[in-house]
Chains A and B, each alone.
Chain A
């Protein structure tokens, strides 16, 4: 157990509404990541953080923003959700070199 909790685990929302996904870790890891997983695309990096208030974009960052005001929490926000953002979102923390993943948040945008 890597001590990662994602919330909510499931969410259904409508196009145009804001959505925030939360990742909480209990092990004081510096590096945290948000990935999305879609059939045919595998896991793709959205944003990552290398410290409190230090974040940067991944390969599929358009339409997403993140914030990290405390070491233990990394928030992913969809300012105005679109159907193309229907996906499973995974948070991860960095161990020695490997990443450890949470259980995922399944988001459906209608």
Chain B
């Protein structure tokens, strides 16, 4: 059974204080590791896909990295508008029958204070 665990559950930062969110996973053949941002009352918004260990993706103040067991979402010099819940998900290779299904972690609630 695929599992995704995110830590910490909540993170409070001061504006400009860089930090990282963790996503640990177990999956029977990784098809992709996905990061999403979710604002209150909204649907998850896609950020990144990582496919193999060593891969990195960047977008503005966010950088996602991937190892064989975990992924990190690094936030550099965050601003209050970066406050949101960040979700991690994995997709498994199931012999070509995964149908694109994703298994999600519970998310990290990030609050950035001015």
Q: Which residues of A are at the interface with B, using a C-beta cutoff of 8 A?
A: 31, 33, 35, 40-45, 48, 50, 56, 58, 90, 94-104
Tell me if B29 is interfacial: C-beta within 8 Å of chain A.
no
The residue in chain B whose Cβ has the minimal distance to the Cβ of A97 is: B32
Q: B99: which A residues are within 8 A, CB to CB? A: 31, 48, 50, 56
Q: Which residues of B are at the interface with A, using a C-beta cutoff of 8 A?
A: 31-32, 34, 41-46, 49, 87, 89, 91, 99-107
Q: B43: which A residues are within 8 A, CB to CB? A: 90, 101-104
Q: Are A58 and B42 in contact (CB under 8 A)?
A: no
Interface of B is mostly: strand
A-B contact number at CB 8 A: 56
Q: A41: which B residues are within 8 A, CB to CB? A: 106
Q: A43: which B residues are within 8 A, CB to CB? A: 44, 87, 89, 104
Q: B106: which A residues are within 8 A, CB to CB? A: 40-42
